[in-house]
Amino acid sequence: MRVVLIIVAVVLLAFVAAQAYISMDMAKTEQQPYEVLWKNDQLEARYYPKAVMASVTDSSSSYRSSSNQNFRVLAGYIFGGNEKSQSIAMTAPVHMAFNESVSQMSFVMPAEMKLEELPAPKDRGVKFSE
């Protein structure tokens, strides 16, 4: 019985430590500012001001496969898959649009980065907009 209690305590401690780490890590992630336009118990409508975005568009008909592939391409860009091999900080949220024929995923670039200063991507599927 004592061994079971020790195992449960260790698992619980590991879970609490993991949650604390995730919370601290998220506090360091730049959040795109927004204004709440309205909300109710289930929904919240937000206005996001103009931002510099790196986006990938895909014609996949599967949400799961397109989101995984698009995320890999964009993550590759910000983790150094660009002409300068420059790492770019991850921000939140990740913007997504999806319908029957086209899906798009966009990463917001850090606020200090300007459109004309972004390093060119190695993957030609990455496009920039403001």
Show me where the domains of the chain are located. 51-129
Collapse the DSSP code of 32 into the 3-class scheme (helix H, G, I; strand E, B; otherwise coil) and give the result: coil
Residue 21 has pLDDT above 60, yes or no: no
State the Cα–Cα distance between residues 90 and 56, nearest whole angstrom: 16
Lowest mean pLDDT among 8-17, 91-100, 109-118: 8-17
Sequence-separated (6 or more) residues with CB below 8 Å from residue 68: none
Question: Which CATH architecture group holds 51-129?
Answer: Alpha-Beta Barrel (3.20)
Question: What pLDDT is recorded for position 19?
Answer: 57
Give the angle subtended at the CA of 24 by the CAs of 18 and 27, to the nearest 5°: 140
Give the angle subtended at the CA of 46 by the CAs of 40 and 50, to the nearest 5°: 175
Question: What pLDDT is recorded for position 43?
Answer: 95
- Better-predicted residue by pLDDT, 3 or 78: 78
Contact in structure between 23 and 42 (CB atoms under 8 Å) = no
Contact in structure between 75 and 122 (CB atoms under 8 Å) = no
Residue 82 has pLDDT above 80, yes or no: yes
Residue 23 has pLDDT above 80, yes or no: no
| pTM attached to this predicted model | 0.73
